[in-house]
Structure 1
């Protein structure tokens, strides 16, 4: 008796589902991509409990005949490619023929579809990969797919799903990304039977970019475009003063396919070189159009990873195009420097207050930062402490936390229980509304005013928390704050900590 066996079809589909269907957002992505390939102009997505219990995707595409519908749930059955040459020139979103059978093998699956040539549609019910019923059904032209009780027969996979809010966030992000790449299609997303997102087909790329990236970038988005005989680029990038803590707001599209590529991300950062803080991420929507035979999308079953045949040329074009767009907008220094002007603000620390004299704004040309930033800031202060003596700015915390004061004669000083130093700074001016340029005995110092302001506010809050009784007052008219699902989930986890600081925040339904 042989020990090597051919796996049953249902088991092989469940194994394949481990790569294709990682979470509810993966199901939504695969079904929506099928709808786009079907020529749909309206796509509706309905999700309940983050997609764990219910997902429905319906469209007005060309639909499937009964024979095609039955074939579509077979593994490796597809209408997208037919020859090996087609595999190296893929122009559709789907092509592997794995999505529908993989989804059907780990859920209670229902497919209803009709073409415009027929008056009766086809309904197929599948439970755990086994066909339970095939029947006629009344349906509009197009396709509707329902996925119930995802991973009901693979409890180990279901166990590793995150909270409903987290899974809902992934679904919303996936829809936002695909809506950005297809502005000619109307997308509607219902979460727990309530309309959460509605992207009109009348939107252009700029309007959709504002809706996806956030309202705070509405007047700080810059268009860019580039083309040569090999590649075409277009999209929008945000002012360097608007950044995020993750790369979640960088959207990359290659031939309208939403992808992730480290090389392109690095090229975008190169375009922003010298303009954003370390650890911060810019906001951008980038479309790359190249011949289909110059990119390989068959790298991973999720089809998010790609490989360029001429990656270096594309990376160079991306960095140069974004850098040139920012430099061009930078010529209008008034519009470019819409960041908050710290020199017009009065800061209070302890019992002292300071409002520096108004200084001239300095227009900035391109900055080339040194390749290796200073990593040990403690050595910097220790080095000055050997040369200076009397103190003005204090490190009250042995963990080397800095309380920054700017005095009227523009002197900045530092105190520590072990280290004392004085930095005599003369403020020269402000650059791009973002940096303060100051002069010391050792040379020029560039201060990120946003980071300095955050530190001052943080130290004030910490000092008040340790030395004063918590004081708070309810607002006469409560302020409401709309967050995305990730932000709402995180904020909910720290409500008790914020309450200890005197900030009482209460959930107001959904993500408000």
Structure 2
């Protein structure tokens, strides 16, 4: 039987890093959330080769004290928790104190930071979890973190990474969600030297939606806002006539944190009952605001899932807010115009008949019978455009038309033909 022994600190750090850092998008998420918690109003994210070559996050937040830089890269080191009671009222995006430690364990990291009250900035470099001494260096206010050669010391993880284009798309999607969840922060995303996203940071959700999701999607949105007790729901949903083919455009936030929730998805779609075609789904950008003590965000390593203390109340708040907003618009919701009358009238009096496969097979076993033409009842005052487009022209009986053919085979009888008006 194999002996039980304690793992070395290096191996333990690599295992812990695997729970936090799954791909480049995970690194970007942790660094940007720390920047938001630092009070930044402008954040710039740059990546190269999908983030596998380089990730640089620059913010204008409060910065880090020089003497605290080495501590920031230790496991379970954080400025956002103090006691066990704080776990029940988490109001920040980051709180575990594992992000920087996990990132530095599987990459090369450089940090440049300066607080507003400091005259000189501080810098630190680390590789594979080993940090060098802090040094003084000139820097602007805020923090810049540079992560390069991700997973260079864990080849087993490196070979399972997807193509650069797929990793870039994952980071781009993450940046969209972060921009939507914090419209008061100006986000700029640069991939391989080209700017892909830039939000104004004016605090208006519609501006962030326009910049992140595009003008066409923003034009289909209906504003919603409602409150039930301590739960507030606000944001935008798509009009019923603009249903989508998938749920990819359903974005939910809880207290500024992007989450994935089957509860919120079910509440949203229940509000659209009998208003969407089969196989169509609503889109939305919805934020749920509730007391920090009424939601547990510490249930998933990636913090993308939460647990509500009163799920029924949250469901009702989202459901009634969406349904009331759609009902309030009523006929104001843009609906397709009916086709012109001339297109709905059949000038040939329902000449084209329809039948199913069973009727067609039964028809083949019966003797041929002349089809019965069912005339549609004429309207009381038929419009002028509904008259048949073709009518036989009357011919005067004084000038009968002689046929050019004979109705009887080898007959010498003369046949005249005329058309009565």
Q: TM-score, with normalisation over the residues of structure 2?
A: 0.81
Give the 4+ runs in structure 1 shifted more than 4 A: 414-422
In structure 1, C-alpha distance between the alignment counterparts of 2:231 and 2:313, rounded to whole Å: 9
1:313-343 per-residue CA deviation (whole Å, 9 max, x = no partner) reads: 11011111101111111232xxx2344x573
1:157 aligns to what SS in structure 2?
Answer: helix
The CA distance in 1 between the partners of 2:267 and 2:227, in whole Å, is 17
Q: 1:343 aligns with which of 323, 339, 355?
A: 339
Q: In structure 2, how many angstroms separate the alpha carbons of the residues matched to 1:160 and 1:110?
A: 25
Deviations 1:394-427, CA, capped at 9 Å, x for gaps:
xxxxxxxxxxxxx9739662565996599x999x
1:50 aligned residue: 50
Structure 1 pair 65/343, CA: closer, same or farther in 2 (3 Å)?
A: same
Alpha-carbon distance in structure 1 between the residues aligned to 2:33 and 2:184: 14
Which segment is superposed worse, 231-240 or 116-125?
A: 116-125
More off after superposition, 145-154 vs 92-101? 145-154
Deviation at residue 194 of structure 1 after TM alignment = 1.2
Give matches, 1:63-78, under 5 Å: 63-78=63-78
Gaps of 5+ in 2: 364-373, 377-421
Bigger radius of gyration among the two: 2
Query: Using the alignment, how far apart are the partners of 1:357 and 1:227 within structure 2?
Result: 49
Matches within 5 A, 1:293-442: 293-332=293-332, 336-339=333-336, 341=337, 343=339, 355-357=343-345, 409=350, 413-414=354-355, 420=361
1:281 aligns with 2:281: yes
Classify the secondary structure of the residue corresponding to 2:135. strand
CA distance in 2, matches of 1:279, 1:26: 32
1:35-46 to structure 2, matched below 5 A, reads 35-46=35-46
Paired residue secondary structure (1:413):
coil
| Cα distance, 1:124 vs structure 2 | 1.4
Partner of 1:205: 205
Identify the residue that residue 248 of structure 2 maps to in structure 1: 248
8 A Cα contact 1:255 1:287, kept in partner:
yes
SS in 1 for 2:224: strand
Question: Mean Cα displacement is larger for which, 25-34 or 242-251?
Answer: 242-251
CA distance in 1, matches of 2:58, 2:10: 26
Contact 1:356 1:408 in 2 (8 A): no
User: Is 1:269 aligned with 2:287?
Assistant: no
Aligned-pair CA distance for 1:241 = 2.4
**Number of residue pairs the alignment of both structures matches:** 367
String of CA shifts for 1:291-332, please: whole Å, max 9, x gaps. 101100000121111000001111011111101111111232
Question: CA separation in 2, counterparts of 1:223 and 1:6?
Answer: 56
Q: In structure 1, how many angstroms separate the alpha carbons of the residues matched to 2:335 and 2:144?
A: 47
Deviation string, structure 1 residues 469-506 (Cα, Å, up to 9, x no partner): xxxxxxxxxxxxxxxxxxxxxxxxxxxxxxxxxxxxxx
Spell out the pairing of 1:10-159 with structure 2 (5 A cutoff): 10-159=10-159
Query: Which segment is superposed worse, 209-218 or 308-317?
Result: 209-218
Q: Please, which moves more after superposition, 107-116 or 36-45? A: 107-116
Change (3 A) 1:331 1:101: same
1:6 CA drift (Å):
2.7
- TM-align CA RMSD: 2.8
| 1:413 and 1:421 in contact (8 A); partners too | no
* Higher RCO by CA contacts (8 Å cutoff, separation 6 or greater): 2
Measured after TM superposition, the shift of residue 204 of structure 1 is: 1.1
SS of the equivalent of 1:253 reads strand
- Over residues 423-470 of structure 1, what are the superposed CA-to-partner deviations in whole Å (9 max), with x where a residue is unaligned? x999xxxxxxxxxxxxxxxxxxxxxxxxxxxxxxxxxxxxxxxxxxxx
Change (3 A) 1:416 1:37: same
Counterparts of 1:85 and 1:214, CA distance in 2: 42
| CA distance, structure 2, for counterparts of residue 270 and residue 410 of structure 1 | 43
Decide whether the 8 Å contact of 2:198 with 2:211 is kept in 1: no
Distance in 2, matches of 1:23 and 1:144, equals 20
Q: 2: CA distance between counterparts of 1:414 and 1:224?
A: 45
Q: Quick check: which one's strand share is greater?
A: 1
Deviates more, 1:86-95 or 1:239-248: 239-248
Indicate the SS of the match to 2:14. Answer: helix
Task: Tell me how far 1:248 sits from its aligned partner.
Answer: 2.4
Q: Which runs of 5+ in 1 are unaligned?
A: 346-353, 359-406, 427-512
